[in-house]
A and B are shown apart, each in its own frame.
Chain A
Amino acid sequence: MQVSSKEKFWLTAPITFFLLVMLGFPLLLDLIYSVSEVTFENLLSPRLQGFENYLKTLQDPTYWDALAFSLKFGLTASLVQLILALFLAIYLEPLLARHPWLMAVLMAPMMVAPALIGLMYRLILHEFVGVIPYYLWEWVGDSPAFLGTENAFLTLVTIEILQWTPFALLIIYTAYRAIPTHLREAARMDGANSAQLLLLVELPNMMPVILLTFFIRFIDSFRVFDNIYVLVGSGAGGTSTSLSIYIYKAFFRGGNIGQAVAASVLLFLAALLLIALLERFSRRMETT
């Protein structure tokens, strides 16, 4: 059945209207605020001032520190998650194939809100009430300062990895299971050993999914806020300030609404660029 253009219009109208109101309006408002002098006192009557907020943001060393932190955090967390998930997907495949319900158990950490995860680890890692420091003191007579400045990054990344590796595992395991059996059989008949099977058949087959998973996890870890904020705030001397925390602090604590919004627009543009690259890459993979 042929759908007329009029019908297409009416069928897509509700979602278009919803998107315009729920996403378009805030985006437009953000764009106006980003080029305005705006504080909490003049939220309804911002004064246009050009690109000063963008310039101030780009000249602010703490913005670049926050960007560097988010990049380092996002890359480290997503890479480790990917490697772990890949290992677990292959290693646990026989077990998970026999007992699929185990996957639900493995998914449990990502069902907890990140802020709650932060709160949980704040208790677990505290020297006087936390279970881990307690046993370390009992067994070795000392415990590292998990949330001290020198260990905070490692602790935060570890917590992120523990919470989100299941997500990567779910996707990669599904891709691993989706590899056609005849490919493996053909490789075996050609004399391929396990390592060759993995490197020459399975990994190339899963590569688009692996890369997609990496990008999704990177974007998610890059914009991290809740668990870091609950655990260490922005860190001693601002050493744990992610880009999201920078924006939050500039907006609410600093009252620099224009600058905070300009920083968020820059983040939005970077994310847009990344998504465009991802889409282009996906199309290329489809054609090859």
Chain B
Amino acid sequence: MKKMFTKLGLVLLISLFAVKSLWAQVTVLGWPGGPEETALRKAVEVYNAGPGKSSGTVSLIFFNRDGFWDKLQADLAAGTTEFDINLTATYAVGRYAPYMQPLSLPSAATDVFGEKVLKTMQFEGEQFGVPTDLSLHFMYYRDDLIDKLLSDAGWQKIYGEISQKYLGKTLSPKNPDTWNWEDYAATALFFTKSVNSASPTRYGTVLQMKNLLFNMMIWHSTARSHGGEWLDANGNVMVDSWAFRQGLQLYKTLYDAGASPKDSTSYEYAEANAAFGSGQAATMLQWNAAFGSLNNPEENPAVAGKIGTVAPPAGPAGRVTHIHGLGLGLNKNSKNKDAAIKFLNWLSGVDAMETYALGGGSPAMAKSITDKISVNRPDLIKLGDFAGSYGFVMNGGTSASALQIYTLQAEQFTGYWSGTKSLDEALQATSKGMAELLK
């Protein structure tokens, strides 16, 4: 009896393996713990109930967010076959390209995303991913405070005096949608208690100045709007420039004047949101993804319903915002490439992206598509508009060294802001380091 059960068990086990090998199951490594995960789960659910039935179902795995890119790097370098499709990002696409297989997406993908957005997943002219989510920056501001500033003569007089004292010219308050960086600085100073004792907020703005690569992406809008660029057309490093100096000095001026919290040098996304959400900061340059949470009365009762968002202020070279995409691409060592490609092709289509967007994701899609779902996702219209009108990627921003360059800049520039390095030292060290990295 015992032998019979053992044999039966073995037969069952072998059958299970046989069925599993005949039935390709695609494993996707996604971005965990946020709206991206929720959206991907929704899209996969729809795929598995439809096209996946014939071409192979999809299952999902997630790492922890902390050190995600480092763990992914180690896994890909080790030739893992544990996942067929993995997350990639604009700033990391060059780094992971050696371990990924380029894609030939259906032509319809261009209609869904547009060339500019597809480009966020390209490296050396080849497509390495489907751009599922786009990130860019909004200038968040307290519209109740700005409304008062635009209508109160007393406040306007103080505003003019403060701008004269700190910026050397008498400015008048403007609508945030027409701000240049000086208007932003003057507003931030006006709403700073240590500068203007009548300010209703403790700080005029909240700057993210932690030594962290993502903070450089936020700051880059200041340099780029002054005409700054990482590399010129010949690939020469050009960060030691007037444009970079203007951007760096702007942050330094505001931080030194006390317009941003004193420990801003340890601030990143979460800390900045906490400061703005407390109602004690009047403005903030922040990722678009923060809006939902900040405007939720349960999470942030002090500011919900009082938040305006516009594109970052303009500089002499125009109005810009850093953009980068998160996307899904094909692991070069995948054992289920055909099934994985079928899923990626499906994911780049209109139906899949609508599902993804309604599930909480933030794909930047053509206006005709976002219009259809605008009732549920009005924010995607602004996302698409801003990406198309103001989006930029620094020259070299998708290179294999991009992450290292961001890290280098973070180290040097935060040194300048915190006063441990001079502006010249920081820019020279950045130029030298970038030239080494791009050799």
Chain A contact residue count (CB 8 A cutoff): 29
State how many angstroms separate the Cβ of B414 from the closest Cβ of chain A: 4
State how many angstroms separate the Cβ of B379 from the closest Cβ of chain A: 25
State how many angstroms separate the Cβ of B218 from the closest Cβ of chain A: 15
- Asked if B211 is an interface residue, CB under 8 A from chain A, the answer is yes
Residue from the set B74, B98, B266 with the largest chain A CB neighbour count within 10 Å:
B266
- Asked if A129 is an interface residue, CB under 8 A from chain B, the answer is yes
State how many angstroms separate the Cβ of A107 from the closest Cβ of chain B: 27
B274 and A149: CB pair below 8 A?
no
State how many angstroms separate the Cβ of B32 from the closest Cβ of chain A: 17
B404 and A237: CB pair below 8 A?
no
Closest to A149 in B: B418
Contacts of A231 in B (CB 8 A): 266
A238 and B275: CB pair below 8 A?
no
A236 and B209: CB pair below 8 A?
yes
State how many angstroms separate the Cβ of B332 from the closest Cβ of chain A: 12
Which of B183-227 touch A at CB < 8 Å?
209-212
- Asked if B403 is an interface residue, CB under 8 A from chain A, the answer is yes
Contacts of A41 in B (CB 8 A): 77, 98
Which of the 9-residue segments B257-265, B282-290, B387-395 touches chain A? B257-265
- Asked if B298 is an interface residue, CB under 8 A from chain A, the answer is no
A149 and B419: CB pair below 8 A?
yes
Bitwise, B91-130 to A at CB < 8 A (1) or not (0) is 0000100100000000000000000000000000000000
Closest to A142 in B: B262
Contacts of A126 in B (CB 8 A): 263, 271, 274
Which of B18-68 touch A at CB < 8 Å?
67
Which of the 9-residue segments A29-37, A81-89, A246-254, A276-284 touches chain B? A246-254
B415 and A237: CB pair below 8 A?
yes
A255 and B263: CB pair below 8 A?
no
A149 and B73: CB pair below 8 A?
no
Contacts of B415 in A (CB 8 A): 236-239
With A128-B275, A239-B418 in contact, is A43–B78 under 8 Å at CB?
Answer: yes
A237 and B261: CB pair below 8 A?
no
B274 and A233: CB pair below 8 A?
no
B275 and A234: CB pair below 8 A?
no
A145 and B420: CB pair below 8 A?
no
- Asked if A17 is an interface residue, CB under 8 A from chain B, the answer is no
With A126-B274, A128-B274 in contact, is A238–B407 under 8 Å at CB?
Answer: no
State how many angstroms separate the Cβ of A283 from the closest Cβ of chain B: 42
Which of A228-264 touch B at CB < 8 Å?
231-239, 249, 252-255
Closest to B210 in A: A233
Contacts of B403 in A (CB 8 A): 253
State how many angstroms separate the Cβ of A264 from the closest Cβ of chain B: 16
Main secondary structure, interface of B, reads helix
- Asked if A146 is an interface residue, CB under 8 A from chain B, the answer is yes
B421 and A237: CB pair below 8 A?
yes
Which of A108-132 touch B at CB < 8 Å?
125-129
With A128-B278, A252-B70 in contact, is A236–B414 under 8 Å at CB?
Answer: yes
Closest to A237 in B: B415
- Asked if B143 is an interface residue, CB under 8 A from chain A, the answer is no
Which of A124-148 touch B at CB < 8 Å?
125-129, 144-148
Checking B73, B261, B277, B418 against A236 with a beta-carbon cut-off of 8 angstroms, the contacting residue is B418
A232 and B210: CB pair below 8 A?
yes
Contacts of B74 in A (CB 8 A): 40, 252
B414 and A237: CB pair below 8 A?
yes
A127 and B261: CB pair below 8 A?
yes
Closest to A39 in B: B77
Bitwise, B319-352 to A at CB < 8 A (1) or not (0) is 0000000000000000000000000000000000
- Asked if B411 is an interface residue, CB under 8 A from chain A, the answer is yes
The complex places the Cα of A249 from the Cα of B95 at a distance, in Å, of 16
With A127-B275, A128-B274, A238-B411 in contact, is A145–B262 under 8 Å at CB?
Answer: yes
- Asked if B280 is an interface residue, CB under 8 A from chain A, the answer is yes
With A128-B274, A237-B414, A237-B421 in contact, is A144–B212 under 8 Å at CB?
Answer: no
The complex places the Cα of A146 from the Cα of B74 at a distance, in Å, of 35
Residue from the set B78, B212, B261, B262 with the largest chain A CB neighbour count within 10 Å:
B262
Contacts of B266 in A (CB 8 A): 147-148, 152, 231-232, 236
Contacts of B67 in A (CB 8 A): 252
Residue from the set B74, B271, B280 with the largest chain A CB neighbour count within 10 Å:
B271
Checking B76, B77, B78, B263 against A148 with a beta-carbon cut-off of 8 angstroms, the contacting residue is B263
Residue from the set A232, A236, A238 with the largest chain B CB neighbour count within 10 Å:
A236
Closest to B417 in A: A236
Can you spell out 21 A-B residue pairs with CB atoms less than 8 angstroms apart?
Answer: A126-B271, A126-B274, A128-B278, A129-B274, A144-B262, A145-B265, A148-B266, A232-B211, A232-B266, A235-B211, A236-B415, A236-B420, A237-B211, A237-B418, A238-B415, A239-B415, A239-B418, A252-B67, A253-B70, A254-B407, A255-B404
Task: List residues of B whose CB falls within 8 A of some A CB.
Answer: 67, 70, 73-74, 76-78, 95, 98, 209-212, 261-266, 271, 274-275, 277-278, 280, 403-404, 407, 411-412, 414-421
Known: A127-B261, A236-B265. 13 other contacts (CB 8 A): A129-B274, A147-B263, A152-B266, A232-B210, A234-B411, A236-B420, A237-B411, A237-B414, A237-B420, A238-B411, A238-B415, A252-B67, A253-B403
